[in-house]
Homo-oligomer: A and B are copies of this chain.
Amino acid sequence: MYSIGDLSRRTGVKIPTIRYYEQMGLIEAPERSEGNQRRYEKRELERLAFIRHARDLGLSIEAIRDLLALSEHPERPCGEADRIATEHLAAVREKIARLRKLEVELERIVACHGDHTIGDCYVIRALADHSMCESEH
């Protein structure tokens, strides 16, 4: 039997976040002590660790909810789980691509260094005028 604090310490998930996950339906409402405090079993510790890891990998709450539901049925085919992970990977790649474009533009923009005034500042001028950029973003 773990208290919410035990769970928090063991998984690194903050206490309000655990309660939030309960509200969001990722964790079932656990049993309560006589004084109405949450008491967890090992199952829920593992479930929370799963959630934590999936969040660290950037999966959305919704995706995690689906994955948890799938994991309750070990005999079913896993196409759906693979699809969720594959789609997430694609989303991560898109984000990287977008950020790389920003990186390129920002590098050009901050390349102006030295002693000068706001009036001459390339940063300010570049922000005022997208046509100075080399790509869309």
User: Is residue A1 contacting chain B, with contact meaning CB distance below 8 A?
Assistant: no
> Known contacts A92-B103, A102-B92, A137-B56; is A75 also within 8 Å of B110 by CB?
no
Main secondary structure of the interface of A (DSSP, over half): helix
Q: How many residues of A contact B (CB 8 A)?
A: 53
**Cα A76 to Cα B78 with chains together (Å):** 62
Report B-chain residues with C-beta under 8 Å of the C-beta of A73.
118
Report B-chain residues with C-beta under 8 Å of the C-beta of A74.
117-119
The digit string for A73-93, where 1 denotes a CB below 8 A from any CB of B, is 111111001101110110011
Q: Are A78 and B127 in contact (CB under 8 A)?
A: no
For the complex of A and B, the 5 pairs showing the least CB-CB separation, nearest first, are A74-B119, A78-B121, A89-B106, A81-B123, A85-B110
